[in-house]
Amino acid sequence: MFAAWCEKEQTEVLLSERRIRSIEADGDAVTVRFTCWCGHEGHFTDLRFGAPRHAHLDNGPVEDTLV
């Protein structure tokens, strides 16, 4: 399970791994594309492990967490 921001519902939703459409690595960032239960297709980008993370959740809240 993972939490993601759903732009259509304007809230954070809890999704299963079956909702993941793709995971793409590009340099130090990983982008996860998902389909929400409501059908909205969204994504979030996060830095790889070992570096400070700044997850931008599809224009939703910004989360700053140190790993």
Query: What pLDDT does 49 receive?
Result: 60
The whole model's pTM is what? 0.66
Question: What local confidence, expressed as pLDDT, does residue 47 receive?
Answer: 80
Q: What pLDDT score was predicted for residue 64?
A: 45
| 3-state secondary structure string across 1-67 | CEEEEECCCCEEEEECHHHEEEEEEECCEEEEEEECCCCCEEEEEEECCCCCEEEECCCCCEEEECC
pLDDT tens for the 67 residues of the chain, in order: 999 999 999 999 999 999 999 999 988 889 999 999 999 999 999 886 655 544 444 455 444 444 4
